[in-house]
Structure 1
Amino acid sequence: MKGKSPLDILGTALATLGPIGHFPKAPGTWGSLAAVIAAPWLFLPLPLWGRVAVLVVVFAVGTWACGVAERTLDRKDPGCVIIDELFGQWLTLLFFASMPIWYLGLAFVLFRIFDILKPWPVRWAETAFAGGLGVMADDGVAGLYALLCLHLIALIL
């Protein structure tokens, strides 16, 4: 990133979750996995209002950082940009602070399914908004789908 401003470097580093987004294979999956691994220490111990506040901050910072990364890397929704996976994965876990550990694995799988397949309106959210907002929005919708499925499974069990 030669010749880029410190804010360009910071925004891109946040958008890629540091080195994780630069893993050579499946950076989105690695980003989701990192989010699930970090959640029991950084997200789930918080009260519900704290988790909501974290999601608002991650969405706002992520929207800015994704826009910066798109401009800096000169690509729309670059594969290395994975803060949106963190947001979507943590959104999936929003109401599951106290859960069996296997729910983390199920949340991971459900979110990845919706993020990869992009059923309506996930794909619509990706294309309806420009820049960082579009990058973050589709993962938010995928996270809501996964959250709903996880909740339904919890009700059944």
Structure 2
Amino acid sequence: MAKHPAHWIALGFGSGLSPKAPGTVGTLWAWASWWVFHEHFTQLEWGLLLAASTLVGWWACKVTAENMGIADPGAIVWDEVLAFWLILWLLEPSNLLTQCFAFALFRYFDAAKPGPVAWADRLFKGFGWRGAFGILLDDFVAAFCTLLCFALWRAW
């Protein structure tokens, strides 16, 4: 992890190095960091942070995947971090119970990869910028599916 600064980002500041369920641990890290920082940023600042973190994360995922020699390593969890931050940002204001449901739904969509998430996961494979985009894309689609469930629930 110390060989390149991109590794710190892509590996979720070490959360992706968990020997069991690194995606879940990365999502938990995202949730914990949200609780630490969410009141310090306005809605606009969160949006800008997410946009900038996506661009930096795209680069970090590219570099880390190439250095690891694996197109989409499970240890890269920055995609989970970004996607869960997006969910929490768009559900704001939300209580702990809502966030727990969001966590469970997101982990389901990310791990099981039903329908559109599986499609997004297959769409961009390999190394380079295209592969790094693929690392991020399926988690953003899982976030969209999670948010769609909340929108349908609230509309019902």
TM tier, smaller: 0.7 to 0.9
How far is 1:66 from its partner?
Answer: 0.7
**1:34 aligns to 2:29 (yes or no):** yes
- With the length of structure 2 as denominator, give the TM-score of the two structures: 0.87
Within-5 A mapping of 1:74-89: 74-89=69-84
- Contact 1:35-1:85 at 8 Å conserved across structures: yes
> Hey, what does 1:150 align to over in structure 2?
150
The answer to whether structure 1 residue 55 and structure 2 residue 57 are counterparts is: no
What displacement does 1:145 show? 0.8
Q: For structure 2, which runs of at least 5 residues remain unmatched after alignment?
A: 125-129
Q: Which moved more, 1:43-52 or 1:74-83?
A: 43-52
Specify which of 117, 121, 138 is matched with residue 126 of structure 1.
121
Cα distance per residue 1:66-99 (max 9 Å; x no partner): 1111110000111110000001111212222222
CA RMSD of aligned residues (A): 1.9
Contact 2:12 2:29 in 1 (8 A): no
Deviations 1:18-68 (A, max 9, x none): 221111100000001111122123246533222221211121111111111
Question: Structure 1 residues 43, 138: closer, same or farther in 2, change over 3 A?
Answer: farther
Aligned partners of 2:104, 2:77: CA distance in 1, in Å? 16
Q: Distance in 2 between matches of 1:113 and 1:77?
A: 19
Deviation at 1:134, TM superposition (A): 0.4
Greater helix share, structure number: 2
TM-score computed with the length of structure 1 as normaliser: 0.86
Gap regions ≥5 residues in structure 1? none
Shift of 1:150: 2.3
Matched, 1:141 2:141: yes
For these two proteins, the number of residue pairs brought into alignment is 151
Give the letter aligned to residue 144 of structure 1: F
Q: Which residue of 1 aligns with 2:59?
A: 64
The C-alpha deviation readout for 1:103-145, integer Å capped at 9, x for no partner, is 1111110100110121232222222223210000110110111
Partner of 2:127: none
